[in-house]
A and B are shown apart, each in its own frame.
Chain A
Amino acid sequence: DTAVSQTPKYLVTQMGNDKSIKCEQNLGHDTMYWYKQDSKKFLKIMFSYNNKELIINETVPNRFSPKSPDKAHLNLHINSLELGDSAVYFCASSLDSTYEQYFGPGTRLTVT
């Protein structure tokens, strides 16, 4: 009974490909997030959804498109992958945006 799950855990792909990462939470939370963690461990928010509605959209290239089919799921689709997209991507959820976040295990994306 994992609280926040992500698939896949590892993703190795070539430049130019399109890939998706899926995230699901079973905590009944209203808010979900995508973060990117670079090789220096710096964590940066990419997107935030509240009840399936996009509320935060940081300056992320529009090759990245989040989709929230329902409030328990937030998927991330990336088009035309570039070398600089290599990072660990974390999904998270919280009761609302003022509360602590619970993170998924991360997806390590390697673009070659």
Chain B
Amino acid sequence: AQKVTQAQTEISVVEKEDVTLDCVYETRDTTYYLFWYKQPPSGELVFLIRRNSFDEQNEISGRYSWNFQKSTSSFNFTITASQVVDSAVYFCALSEEDGGFKTIFGAGTRLFVKA
């Protein structure tokens, strides 16, 4: 059965600090997809990244970077030089073949970035 754990419920940082949001997943499948989504205070859900289980390359997009490690079943998200606009709830999600690619979301990590 698939499961996504985001152990950090809330994180508070000061602007310009780097912050890493943890995501640990469980799956018995070899084919699966991982995602991160952002939900700012305005409430909409915004897609950030998709990663398939066969591609362990890390990814960088501006101040955002993702570290995918199959050995530890983790897909962590780092924000470099955080800004107030990064304040949001961030969700990690998993979609596995065995579940008909049903997407399971983690509980989310609320990030506060203070000026």
Q: Interface residues, chain A, CB within 8 Å of chain B?
A: 33, 40-45, 48, 55-56, 88, 90, 92, 96-103, 105-106
Are A97 and B50 CB-contacts (below 8 A) given A103-B44, A105-B43, A105-B44? no
* A41 and B100 form a contact (CB under 8 A): no
Q: Interface residues, chain B, CB within 8 Å of chain A?
A: 33, 35, 37, 39, 43-47, 50, 52, 89, 91, 95, 100-105, 107-108, 110
* A48 and B50 form a contact (CB under 8 A): no
Q: How far is the CA of A106 from the CA of B46 in the complex (A)?
A: 12
* B101 and A98 form a contact (CB under 8 A): yes
* B35 and A100 form a contact (CB under 8 A): yes
Looking at the assembled complex, report how far the CB atom of B48 sits from the nearest CB atom of chain A, in whole angstroms.
Answer: 9
A106 touches which one: B43, B95, B100, B105 (CB < 8 A)?
B43
For chain B, what secondary structure do more than half of its interface residues adopt (helix, strand, loop), or is it mixed?
strand
**Which residues of chain B are within 8 angstroms of A55 by Cβ–Cβ distance?**
100
* A102 and B100 form a contact (CB under 8 A): no
**Which residues of chain B are within 8 angstroms of A40 by Cβ–Cβ distance?**
107
* A98 and B47 form a contact (CB under 8 A): no
* B102 and A102 form a contact (CB under 8 A): no
* A41 and B101 form a contact (CB under 8 A): no
Q: How far is the CA of A45 from the CA of B45 in the complex (A)?
A: 14
Are A103 and B45 CB-contacts (below 8 A) given A41-B108, A98-B101? yes
Cross-chain pairs A/B with CB under 8 angstroms, 12 sampled: A40-B107, A42-B105, A42-B108, A43-B45, A43-B105, A44-B105, A92-B45, A97-B95, A97-B102, A99-B50, A101-B35, A106-B44
